Amino acid sequence: MQPSFFDPAGWGPGAARILGALEPSLGDGDFDVLALALLRQQAETNGPYQQLLKAMDFNPSAATRWSEFPAMPASSFKDVSVCAFPEGEAVAVFETSGTTSGRPGRHFFRSLAYYEKALETAWRQFLPDLSGHHWVSLIPPAGAKKTSSLSHMISRLSGRVAGGKTVWCCDGDYRMDMDLFRRSLDKTDGPVLVLGTSFALAQAAESGAAVGLPDGSVIFDTGGYKGRHREIPKDEFLSLLGGTFGVPASGIWNEYGMTEWSSQGYARGDTGLHRFPTWMRIVLRDLESGEEVAPGKPGLVEAYDLANVGSVMAVGTLDLARWEPGGLRILGRLTAADARGCSLPYE
Amino acid sequence: MSSHIPTPTLERIREVSAAFAGRPGTGIRGPEDFIGLLRMELGHEEALDRPVKMAGAWQRAAAPGLTYHICASNLAVSAETALALGLVLGGELVFKLPSSGLENFVELVESLPPSLRGTVRLLATHDPEIMARAGAVVVFGGGETVAAVRGEVRWDQRFMAYGPKISLGWVLPGTATADWALAAAGEIRAFGQRGCLSPQSYLCADRAEAELFGGLLAAALSGTKLVDGLGVSAEERALVREARKRAQARGDAVLESVGGPDWTVVIRNEARIEAGPGCGFVEILSSQAPGVLDGWRGLVSSVSITADVVPGDLMELFSSHGISRVCRTGELQNPPLLWRHDGQPRLAPLVRWIACDPGMEVE
């Protein structure tokens, strides 16, 4: 018997089509068809998503467009197993970093094929060719931090793009080896790629004297301070990195992604505008009404990520952003107070 | 009050009591509250004015010459109470305001009589030099804020910190009634549910009581309005929308106002306490097992209970989890001035003492 396009008990031919669709050449029409089919499938097979849609009186079969489907809050990944397959069949689980609420969000994967193809394809599409650079990472390798999607991402890229010759300067407990880091930068002749979270990069920049990296060097910033450092305004951050490492803003790339997504957006420092792969759509929702906002107006980011095959394609965030000509500008984040009361920061 | 010639402290108490009369949330009813507080914390209401004999020795307390306060931006009431206490202690008072301002507080300061107003200075930005000159530093803020300020305070400066907290309601078995629900609605609504005394969850004994109390609370909330005059921001609407969706995805029962974020009652399947987005958003839990509180040890300020008599085992449970106040449901937002906020004395940590050895006299 021919399995349905998305076989709820397995993957069916639809899954193969999605894997093949994770290409820069994916057209809008194909995205629309696949996205609608995948969301309808997830509305049947993903229990928490099904509950959400039912509570919202949303009828998946009546929807004519993917953007009509409500997004699952990213915070739901902390509460429930957002799985479109039996949880026990997961081959990997990526976890968000702990918060004050003490429970990480968990993203279950039945296959990492989609995540990895999305990652590599978008990297090659948006970033310059970094295969000849000397990679130095302030992010732990996947072997040291198995539940980190970021570690998996960088390790995978290291193997596939840089031939696995990355120098790892951070362990699984996020302890950085600054001596190794500095030595690695000092001894290289060719261009360097420094990878790190914003926190790690800022700490590295502030930890010692300036080291002018060779021309063509690139810094890859994955964002995030994890509550361990006062957040530095973007301009100051770029100046700090530029002043310490001698890399201009045009050589500093920012990745916008999250554990609950399988795909990422990328921005070059001199524009600060993120661009996204063809298999991912970002919809901005008005804070007041929840309706989609027009370009130029700020709204909350909702991602419709075709590579999120095994969980839920539509994931909402509390990130505030605005579409500008050339890409998405991230403006900040709404903070749902983990504890009420005297909890707001002083400036 | 004492009938003899007023001391400077008693004079200040009279003025402060008049200036703060009717300020909700400060717990100030009249001069007697301050006198009671001085007696409780300093042993004598005139200890700041002259040596007094306590425990067989002459002792005198001295207020800081300058107290530096860092205010939280969510509500003015914590700054207002700190102002009242500082004015009673005496000395120069500096308040660093949040960048978003603190309109009600500024208005209060401007309305003080000249004798009090002259001792208060407001700062729009943090001034490390002034803070370095202070004898005491008082900070209201999140963990990061408190840690940052603590790092700037010298060892010889007095330091008091009030960190982030939530409050809870406890519905005793058999008390899920409309009257208690109405009282709960009042304490949820007060101050826009923005303060550390705002309840986030009500704990019931079992599912049946949770559903009953949740329904009654929803009815009570639908008949009341937010009490803070600040309205609901677009950001808060978005946070409520997200919190509702999150509850729905968990499969919880969600009772909510129609057409906006005015109120939300979530009857949780899981016995788990979480801080909500405010705006009348509250969760009802079906468990009163002690373990429910474990993840919040030291982070719960106050608990309201549906009774006038606190069961002994509950008092022990709350005490062991660092909860510093128990009140009747409906009274969460009306703490008495004598309450030790966050479990610590309000005045005693700020003053310095000089004492003569027992057997000695003072001229």
- Find the mean pLDDT for residues B163-182: 96
Report the pLDDT value the prediction gives residue B229, as an integer from 0 to 100: 52
pLDDT digits (tens, 9 = 90+) for A65-110: 999 999 999 999 999 999 999 999 999 999 987 655 578 999 999 9
- Find the mean pLDDT for residues B280-308: 96
Q: What is the chain B residue with the closest CA to A333?
A: B235
- Find the mean pLDDT for residues A255-263: 96
Report the pLDDT value the prediction gives residue A339, as an integer from 0 to 100: 34
Q: Does A338 score more than 50 pLDDT?
A: no
pLDDT digits (tens, 9 = 90+) for B240-260: 999 999 999 999 999 999 888
Alpha carbon distance B222, B216 (integer Å): 10
Which of B71, B245, B273, B283 is best to mutate for the A interface (most A CBs within 10 A)? B245
**How close does chain B come to A296, measured CA to CA in Å?**
17
Interface of B with A in 188-217 (CB under 8 A): 193-198, 200
Q: Which residue, among A46, A49, A83, has the nearest Cα to A69 in the 3D structure?
A: A49
Q: Which two tokens stand for residue A298?
A: 């700020």
A70 near B CB under 8 A = yes
B97 near A CB under 8 A = no
pLDDT digits (tens, 9 = 90+) for B38-59: 999 999 999 999 999 999 999 9
Report the pLDDT value the prediction gives residue A11, as an integer from 0 to 100: 67
pLDDT digits (tens, 9 = 90+) for A15-50: 889 999 999 999 999 999 999 999 999 999 999 999
A287-301, A333-347, B90-104: which range is least confident on average?
Answer: A333-347
**How close does chain B come to A318, measured CA to CA in Å?**
8
Residue with tokens 């997004």: A71
Report CB contact under 8 Å: A101, B274. yes
Q: Does A203 score more than 60 pLDDT?
A: yes
A contacts of B141 (beta carbons < 8 Å): 342-346
A219-228, A275-284, B152-161, B171-180: which range is least confident on average?
Answer: A219-228
Q: Which residue, among A1, A23, A21, A28, has the nearest Cα to A12 in the 3D structure?
A: A1
Report the pLDDT value the prediction gives residue A230, as an integer from 0 to 100: 60
The number of C-beta contacts closer than 8 angstroms across A and B is 145
Model confidence at B271, in pLDDT bands (50, 70, 90)? very high
Report CB contact under 8 Å: B237, A287. yes
| Closest CB to B142 among A79, A82, A344 | A344
Q: Which two tokens stand for residue A165?
A: 């010759």
Which of A232, A343, A347 is best to mutate for the B interface (most B CBs within 10 A)? A343
Alpha carbon distance B202, B210 (integer Å): 8
Q: What whole-number percentage of chain A has pLDDT above 90?
A: 78
Q: What is the chain A residue with the closest CA to B234?
A: A288
Q: Does B131 score more than 50 pLDDT?
A: yes
| Closest CB to A80 among B70, B249, B277 | B249
Report the pLDDT value the prediction gives residue A341, as an integer from 0 to 100: 33
Q: Does B2 score more than 60 pLDDT?
A: no
Q: Which residue, among A274, A197, A177, A194, has the nearest Cα to A242 in the 3D structure?
A: A194
Does the global pTM surpass 0.80? yes
B14 near A CB under 8 A = no
pLDDT digits (tens, 9 = 90+) for A60-74: 999 999 999 999 999
B274 near A CB under 8 A = yes
| Closest CB to B196 among A227, A290, A340 | A340
Model confidence at B315, in pLDDT bands (50, 70, 90)? very high
What φ, ψ does residue A81 adopt, rounded to 5°?
-85, 105
Model confidence at A8, in pLDDT bands (50, 70, 90)? low
Q: Mean pLDDT of all residues in chain B? A: 93
- Name the residue with higher pLDDT: B335 or B233: B335
Provide DSSP, A193-248: EEEE-HHHHHHHHHTS----PPTT-EEEE----TTSSPPPPHHHHHHHHHHHH---
**How close does chain A come to B58, measured CA to CA in Å?**
39
B contacts of A102 (beta carbons < 8 Å): 295
| Closest CB to A73 among B96, B245, B251 | B245
Model confidence at B30, in pLDDT bands (50, 70, 90)? very high
pLDDT digits (tens, 9 = 90+) for A159-202: 999 998 999 999 998 899 999 999 999 888 899 999 999 989 99
Report the pLDDT value the prediction gives residue B251, as an integer from 0 to 100: 97
| Closest CB to A342 among B141, B245, B251 | B141
Q: Does A342 score more than 60 pLDDT?
A: no
Report the pLDDT value the prediction gives residue B242, as an integer from 0 to 100: 95
Report the pLDDT value the prediction gives residue A94, as an integer from 0 to 100: 97
- Find the mean pLDDT for residues B54-82: 94
B174, B206 contact by CB (below 8 A): no
Report CB contact under 8 Å: A73, B242. yes
A72 near B CB under 8 A = yes
Model confidence at B238, in pLDDT bands (50, 70, 90)? very high
Model confidence at A347, in pLDDT bands (50, 70, 90)? very low
Interface of B with A in 210-249 (CB under 8 A): 234-235, 237-239, 241-243, 245-246, 248-249
The angle, 0 to 180 degrees and rounded to 10, between the axes of the packed helices B234-250 and A47-55 is 120
B contacts of A72 (beta carbons < 8 Å): 245, 249
Interface of B with A in 109-168 (CB under 8 A): 125-126, 139-142, 144-145, 148-149, 162-166
Q: What whole-number percentage of chain A has pLDDT above 70?
A: 90
**How close does chain B come to A107, measured CA to CA in Å?**
15
Report the pLDDT value the prediction gives residue B230, as an integer from 0 to 100: 58
A222, A150 contact by CB (below 8 A): yes
